[in-house]
Amino acid sequence: MRTKSTKQNKINVVTLGCSKNVYDSEVLMGQLKANGKNVVHEDPEDDGNIVVINTCGFIGKAKEESVDTILHYAQRKEAGEVDKVFVTGCLSERYKPDLEQEITNVDQYFGTHDLPNLLKVLEADYKHELIGERLTTTPQHYAYLKIAEGCDRPCSFCAIPLMRGKHKSTPIEELVIEATKLAESGIKEIMLIAQDLTYYGLDIYKKRALADLLKELVKVEGIEWIRLHYAFPSGFPMDVLDVMRDEPKVCNYLDIPLQHINTEILKSMKRGTTHEKTTNLIHKFREYVPNMAIRTTLIVGYPGETEEQFQELKDWVEEMRFERLGAFEYSHEENTGAYVLEDDVPADVKFRRVNEIMEVQSQISWELNQEKIGKTFRCLFDRKDGEYYYGRTEFDSPDVDNDVIVDAREHYIKLGEFIDIEIYDAGDFDLYGTPTVKQERPVPLNKRKK
């Protein structure tokens, strides 16, 4: 028999999926804190008696993880270990009727635009004046800054518009306020995220205004790195490259998912570009900003992808030598444009093609990293794990790109600080270095002179 827990109300927010979900959870937690609520984020020690699960519904594996997490907490509720379970986010937006029917032990499901209603059931009021007030869950020196919600692109493989709605830009002045508050809290690096950065401003300024936004953000004192994630190749605003080249705070880094290179597949994907246009765009990037690091993602196994089309993609990866690249298997998602096509590439073929692409990229990454040996880079250090410190250059984003590794047995590094590191060795995806200037270890309190 289920019994109600005797714990005092503590709200545990569990986040699944991408950085945009992380941002949404932080906004939710900021609102809850402003209402005087006791809120934690995935606290392993005491996860609270009320659970809010912010789900992902993008592709098959992400949906499975979300469902498994919901079932886990529904079972804990049945066992009396938690009192209430609420579900929000993309999976809930996309499959709410099905979830309500299949997992009935959840108190309530909410969509991606239901924050005020979610707060209401948590006995909190939505405070419109809290621009930029978030409880960041990332390390204390970097944070995500979501500059727009939703997407207007018609990509045939993507379910994001079904879950996030139409593109809606956040005004520049609000983003500057938010960045300023982040800087005041100690944040030194902000990563601009959206479903499509390059569309920013078209809805509210009637022009692509990403460059205008960057020019205002670089004025924020305390912010030293600004990084761009999730740009779209079609209609890319080239004035962004001018700002990247001229403003030291804007990292020479661009995350631009290209998805494929075969023109027929790009047309079926409704990407609005071709092999030739995509290649020319990458050449222009490198011409404008010669030391730019380009990150991209590719999809293999799209319906109808032949061995010849895959080989074209593989050859192109070898030719373009991207600094950072990820490859993923196509996921056949209901209600998308491609769902009417036959998912005819076998799973084992998709798996093989991903591995072949990543083998090529591993070699490219190794070769590019070898060129860094003997050079010195300004690095930001995120964490210490065991006997090593892990940091990043401006060409690397956290969790997805290369690490700069320093031996903690020989050197002391203060986390969240920029340090010049000389690289002495390199692997496929890691750089190994030593500080050019020695940092003194802090004296323990019990050994300090009275």
Annotated binding site: 18, 56, 90, 151, 155, 158
Whose CA is closest to 49, among 5, 110, 2?
5
Residue 432 neighbours by CB distance under 10 Å: 18
What does the alpha-carbon distance between residue 12 and residue 280 come to, in Å, rounded to a whole number?
A: 48
What does the alpha-carbon distance between residue 74 and residue 92 come to, in Å, rounded to a whole number?
A: 15
Q: How far is CA 403 from CA 396, 399, 410, 418, in A?
A: 8, 9, 18, 14
Report which secondary-structure segment, H or E, holds 370: helix 347-370
Identify the sign of the CA torsion 39, 45, 50, 54.
Answer: positive
Residue 185 neighbours by CB distance under 10 Å: 14
Annotated binding-site members for [4Fe-4S] cluster? 18, 56, 90, 151, 155, 158
Strands 11-15 and 50-55 come out as parallel
The SS3 of residue 44 is: coil
Helices (H), ranges, 103-142 = 115-121
Residue 337 neighbours by CB distance under 10 Å: 15
The SS3 of residue 51 is: strand
**What pairs with residue 368 in β-bridges?**
none
Q: How many CA atoms lie within 13 A of 367 on its CB side?
A: 10
Report which secondary-structure segment, H or E, holds 433: strand 430-435
Q: Are 88 and 118 in contact (CB under 8 A)?
A: yes
Q: Which two tokens stand for residue 30?
A: 């900021």
The SS3 of residue 439 is: coil
DSSP codes joined into one string, 305-343: --HHHHHHHHHHHHHH--SEEEEEE----TTSGGGGS--
Report which secondary-structure segment, H or E, holds 55: strand 50-55
Q: Are 64 and 57 in contact (CB under 8 A)?
A: no
Whose CA is closest to 382, among 400, 370, 367?
400
Q: Which two tokens stand for residue 311?
A: 């080989």
Q: Which two tokens stand for residue 450?
A: 């009275």
